[in-house]
Structure 1
Amino acid sequence: MRVLAVDDEQPALDELLYLLRGEPSVTEVHGAGDATAALRILRSHGADAVFLDINMPGLDGMELAGVLGEFANPPAIVFVTAHEDHAVAAFDLGAVDYLLKPVRQERLGAALRRVAAHRARPGAEADPVGNNEVIPVELAGVTTLVHRSQVSWVEAEGDYARLHTDTGSHLVRIPLSALQERWRDGFLRVHRSYLVALGRVTGLRTVGSSTRVCLRGAGPVELPVSRRQVRELKQRLVHGPHTPPERR
């Protein structure tokens, strides 16, 4: 495939180009130091995938990705950045993957495989409720992609959020409020500290004057529901998890 790498820091760009040239699936590689040069190369050579730094002067990576998304045949976008806190916005733009610097060869190879799958099945990733959205999670230098569909509930931990899945939990640098807004169609914030996947709810239990929601996950889980959320929770469970939440 033809790949364009864009980064305003020359050493980082040189390193990424070196790694890309070492990948068997990459047949043509170009580099650009800013958005203007990137668009010039795309007009003259084209690209199947663009590996984009986010923090760049002038038109930044997010803005350039928005421009590329308007192309008649847009290239696959892979963001490459030192900051993991842009992940939600990146996937909102339809990014195929999100790499954290310094990029490792094996992680780059995984990203290229995702690009190849994306190109081979255009539209196959389409998901009107966003269940295929992924959040990159770093643990001991290894990046794991956690799919939204794997998440049973999310717990607030200050400015971070802990994603609870069938296989364990992952702390990510994304506030609970951001995920609450991004995942409105299938999740509900039942408490100031908890966001739950409505499709994972197995029942409600009343304990005295309080209500608890029962979830399936790595094991049986019960979480408190604030009084003002009980009605909306019941309505959305009756009418389906993807019922639009009530606007207050």
Structure 2
Amino acid sequence: MNRGGLRVLVVDDEQPALDELAFLLGGDDRIGEIVCCQSATEGLRTLRESDVDCVFLDIQMPGLSGLELAEVLGRFKQAPPVVFVTAHEQHAVDAFDLDAVDYLLKPVGRERLAEAIRRIVSGSDRSRTAGDTQVPVERGGVTRFLDRGDITHVEAHGDYARLHTTAGENYLVRVPLSTLEEEWRADGFWRIHRSLLVSLGHVEEVRTESGRTSVRVGDVELPVARRHTRELRDVLVRRASGGAS
């Protein structure tokens, strides 16, 4: 994030909608420069010529659509976060498949826009502190910061993931399990089931009964899929003997 605020690109083929969103963004003190484009092609040209901190992107536009532009951005070495702004709710699944930060329905309200900006800023802060062991979670409008070492296992929950802690609490985060698997593997989180990651450091017991394997984490018993069983045992043995995971 720039010290003078976020540099934002807004792309919408409808001038009134473009003007309205730019006006709302300009009223937030976390926003610095606002660049407006009336087509995805023009937006792509802008992105290739200069850096932006985030993109607010309409979906349905003549020619290159917002979803298609987001797919192109996903191939950038350092892709800016994308917030989709649209009147069409049916595109939400496609938007989050493209790792959108947020999905706003028109007409956009100030409070909802402020939440989207908060998510962008929060993501920027995390990217600057890669390897940080704290994980921001929300509940009841309050943001807490969990120590990753206190997370025992992670459960898939649609496009979200549910984090379970040593204190017996759980928190829902807007991150797919596959993303956490990739990002947290170096910290000892291992896939044991299509819907579960487990923190190897919290595994107290591996049990096999009637051909079915499970691990015990505190008072919780978690199933291990057959195809993950051998690999899990191997990595636990290596950790126990002081080897790398």
**TM-score category by the smaller chain?**
0.5 to 0.7
Following the alignment from structure 1 to structure 2, what is the Cα–Cα distance between the partners of residues 105 and 26? 13
Partner of 1:4: 9
What are the residue-to-residue correspondences of 1:117-128 with 2, within 5 Å? 124-127=128-131
**How many residues end up aligned between the 2 structures?**
219
The answer for unaligned runs of 5 or more in structure 1 is 91-96
Give identity over the alignment, percent: 31
Give the aligned partner of residue 25 of structure 2.
20
Answer yes or no: is 1:87 the counterpart of 2:91.
no
CA contact (8 A) 1:32 1:38 kept: yes
CA-atom RMSD, angstroms? 4.9
Which residue identity is paired with 1:124? R
1:108 to 113, 126, 129: 113
Indicate conservation of the 8 Å contact 2:205/2:217, yes or no.
no
Aligned-pair CA distance for 1:191: 3.7
What is the alpha-carbon distance in structure 2 between the residues aligned to residue 170 and residue 86 of structure 1?
19
CA distance in 1, matches of 2:29, 2:110: 12
Alignment of 1:21-100 (within 5 A): 21-41=26-46, 47-53=52-58, 56=61, 57-58=63-64, 60-66=68-74, 69-70=76-77, 76-81=80-85, 82=89, 83-84=92-93, 86-87=95-96, 89-90=98-99, 98-100=101-103
What is residue 214 of structure 1 aligned with on the other side?
A: 216
The answer as to whether partners of 2:11 and 2:39 remain within 8 angstroms in 1 is: yes
Gapped runs of 5+ residues in structure 2? none
SS in 2 for 1:233: helix
* Residue 94 (structure 1) aligns with: none
For 1:151 and 1:19, the matched residues in 2 are separated by 41
CA contact (8 A) 1:5 1:50 kept: yes
Q: Separation in 2 of the partners of 1:27 and 1:163?
A: 34
SS in 2 for 1:101: strand
Contact 1:35–1:64 (Cα < 8 Å) also in 2: no
Equivalent residues of 2:203, 2:216 under 8 A apart: yes
- The normalised TM-score by structure 1 is 0.59
**Which amino acid in structure 1 is aligned with residue 153 of structure 2?**
S
Match of 2:197 in 1: 196
Indicate conservation of the 8 Å contact 1:206/1:212, yes or no.
yes
2 CA distance for matches of 1:18 and 1:45?
A: 22
Scaled by the length of structure 2, what TM-score is found?
A: 0.60
TM-fit CA distance, 1:27: 3.8
